[in-house]
């Protein structure tokens, strides 16, 4: 996101098989009456591929520490130096800490770096020190602190407050901060995160300059302030509902949630814990002893390394193995096909999937309980019709008892190089839970331009009963989100319209000025959203007018609570908030226009 000041936009950055077959002709011997007929040779039976092993080493970019490991701080610093400003680099790291107590550490996290404890509870792994994200690399502006994460640790911050100044795609999950949490960079420059889930912060959370934030199923001591859009669901200690002043949207519970799978140690054995589904959830899952759920040994996972082929990954899936994607970049010549119920695909250290030749990266069948978590899909230079598909078109099975979850799965089109995709994520399966995603058509980096990284649609939901908790979708050429399924729900939405529209004609949608950020289909009779925001920053042509941020049929069961649109520094304007309702954004003052309830 840009600085809200019109004079401080981002610095410019430099713009992002043939299969040969041979046919052999066999000449049949002539048939001679009264003689034996020569039989054609039977083809040799195809050998089954050798079964792939489960388990194995986690590879060189998973760094595992225990309290007796020498030189931990030096190793953390080395990774940070490499990753601090490597926004579109190829380095990927997971920093894992075995249960125990560590003292005197400051783990500074750069791009594509994940830090996590290996206990069943955050309190099993305590760092007397800090896990820090700051913005020195970008002159104190934290709006590009993407793609990093912290999980399953207890922190005792040196100063009493830990700094976590992040932007999108930087989850803070299953953490216990025995003190406060500061979400702003030093100097309190701009920031545009973020997401907390299943965490306990004993002291105060201070967002300061954070423009928006979503906190789910957690416990906090207190919350200091809000800028534009602060949303809470199932959070003990959350501030009371008060949107738009202060801009707090507070739900007592989260309707349905299931926490992200995580790696942990049982003795010397790695296992993956699968938290159980909760309904009307509130507070953390780990506060009273062993968390509820099941676990799988690592021997039931194919532990993938960068360079492995898509065919091998699919063989592992067909064989009945789950996938653990170790840190690195994976090129896919065919989609990963997840056809078995309850399959887990878990990435470490922002493992990145790049579809080659215009294929879809991941396709999930209409089955129960698939868990996708912790990886990045990066569009390739040949246009993919879709990048991630949850269920085939027309999927209709009831998955309410055991939904598919998509958690910390991020999608990027452009930035690291040329990339194109018509639609990024399509959700066809009923009851899917999208729990924290950032679907981003890049506005800076390599391979960026109105047609260069063309991507018309971000997220399309066709399935009924889908729930999104923490939905970040930005910069698509047309609609960012289209929702056609019945009874859909979204708790927290953050959006920016594409900066780089060359002129009004480029975004014209029939007789409507611009495509809504979030559109509910005309046939939908039931839908609900809480705490949804859309911003425009048309810096190529600041005269562009966007009619509204949200579009929906006017029906009593299509309901929205606490909507806002913002014109950043007057670079473009909104005429309305939703449909024809809501005041236009005002001049260059970057003041939100809000609608508290619709219709």
String of DSSP letters for 238-273:
PPPP-TTSS-EEEESSEEEE-PPPEEEEETTEEEEE
CB 367 within 8 A of CB 341: yes
Cα–Cα distance for residue pair 597/599, rounded to 1 Å: 6
Tell how strand 262-266 and strand 322-325 pair up: unpaired
CB 397 within 8 A of CB 370: no
What count of other Cβ atoms lies within 10 Å of the Cβ of residue 128?
A: 15
Cα–Cα distance for residue pair 475/537, rounded to 1 Å: 10
Tell how strand 278-281 and strand 180-182 pair up: unpaired
Nearest CA to 219 out of 181, 169, 249 is that of 181
DSSP 3-state assignment of 229? strand
484: left (phi over 0), alpha (psi -120 to 50) or beta: alpha
Cα–Cα distance for residue pair 495/356, rounded to 1 Å: 28
Q: Could you confirm whether 84 is annotated as catalytic?
A: no
Cα–Cα distance for residue pair 376/236, rounded to 1 Å: 31
- Selecting among 269, 496, 528, 575, the annotated active-site residue is 496
Cα–Cα distance for residue pair 390/370, rounded to 1 Å: 9
In the chain, the largest separation of any two C-alpha atoms, in whole Å, equals 100
CB 596 within 8 A of CB 583: no
Whose tokens are 């190529």? That residue is 540
Could you list the beta-strand ranges (E) of 368-484.
Answer: 371-378, 384-390, 405-413, 421-427, 433-441, 457-461, 467-474, 481-483
Give catalytic residues, as residue numbers: 496
């Amino acid at each position: 996101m840009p600085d809200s000041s019109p004079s401080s936009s981002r610095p410019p950055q430099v713009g992002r098989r043939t299969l040969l077959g041979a046919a052999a002709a066999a000449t049949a011997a002539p048939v001679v009456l009264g003689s034996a007929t020569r039989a054609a040779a039977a083809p040799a039976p195809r050998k089954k591929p050798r079964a792939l092993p489960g388990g194995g080493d986690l590879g060189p970019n998973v760094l595992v520490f225990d309290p007796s490991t020498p030189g931990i701080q030096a190793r953390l610093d080395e990774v940070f130096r490499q990753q601090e400003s490597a926004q579109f680099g190829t380095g990927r790291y997971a920093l894992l800490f075995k249960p125990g107590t560590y003292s005197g550490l400051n783990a500074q996290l750069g791009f594509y770096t994940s830090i996590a404890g290996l206990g069943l509870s955050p309190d099993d792994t305590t760092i007397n020190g800090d896990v820090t994200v700051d913005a020195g690399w970008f002159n104190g502006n934290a709006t590009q602190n993407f793609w990093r994460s912290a999980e399953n640790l207890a922190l005792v911050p040196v100063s009493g407050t830990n700094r976590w100044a992040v932007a999108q795609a930087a989850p803070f999950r299953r953490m216990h901060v025995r003190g406060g949490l500061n979400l702003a960079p030093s100097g309190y420059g701009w920031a545009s995160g973020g997401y907390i889930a299943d965490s306990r912060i004993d002291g105060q959370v201070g967002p300061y300059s954070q423009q928006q934030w979503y906190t789910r199923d957690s416990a906090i001591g207190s919350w200091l302030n809000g800028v534009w859009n602060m949303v809470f669901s199932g959070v003990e200690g959350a501030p009371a509902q008060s949107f738009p002043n202060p801009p707090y949207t507070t739900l007592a519970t989260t309707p349905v949630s299931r926490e992200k799978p995580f790696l942990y140690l049982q003795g010397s054995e790695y296992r993956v814990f699968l938290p159980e589904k909760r309904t009307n959830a509130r507070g953390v899952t780990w506060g009273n002893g062993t968390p509820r759920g099941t676990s799988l040994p690592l021997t039931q996972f194919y532990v993938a390394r960068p360079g492995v082929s898509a065919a091998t990954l699919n063989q592992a899936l067909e064989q009945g193995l789950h996938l653990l994607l170790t840190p690195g970049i994976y090129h896919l010549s065919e989609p990963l096909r997840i056809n078995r119920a309850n399959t887990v695909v878990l990435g470490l250290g922002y493992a990145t999937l790049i579809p080659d030749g215009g294929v879809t990266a991941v396709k999930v069948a209409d089955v129960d309980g698939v868990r996708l978590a912790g990886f990045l899909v990066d569009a390739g230079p040949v246009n993919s019709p879709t990048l991630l598909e949850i269920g085939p078109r027309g999927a209709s099975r009831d998955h309410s008892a055991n939904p598919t979850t998509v958690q910390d799965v991020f999608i990027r089109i452009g930035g690291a190089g040329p990339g194109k995709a018509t639609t990024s994520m399509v959700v066809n399966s009923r009851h899917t839970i999208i729990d924290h995603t950032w679907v981003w058509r890049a506005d800076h980096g390599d391979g960026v331009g109105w047609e260069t990284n063309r991507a018309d649609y971000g997220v399309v939901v066709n399935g009924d009963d889908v729930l999104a908790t923490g939905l970040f979708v930005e910069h698509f050429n047309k609609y960012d989100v289209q929702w056609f399924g019945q009874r859909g729900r979204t708790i927290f939405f953050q959006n920016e319209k594409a900066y780089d529209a060359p002129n009004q004609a480029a975004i014209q949608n029939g007789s409507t000025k611009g495509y809504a950020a979030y559109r509910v289909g005309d046939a939908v009779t039931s839908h609900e959203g809480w705490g949804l925001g859309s911003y425009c920053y048309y810096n190529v042509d600041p005269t562009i007018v966007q009619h509204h941020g949200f579009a929906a049929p006017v029906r009593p069961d299509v309901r929205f609570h606490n909507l806002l649109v913002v014109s950043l520094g007057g670079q473009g304007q909104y005429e309305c908030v939703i449909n024809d309702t809501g005041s236009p954004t005002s001049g260059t003052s970057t003041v939100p226009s809000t609608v508290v309830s619709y219709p």
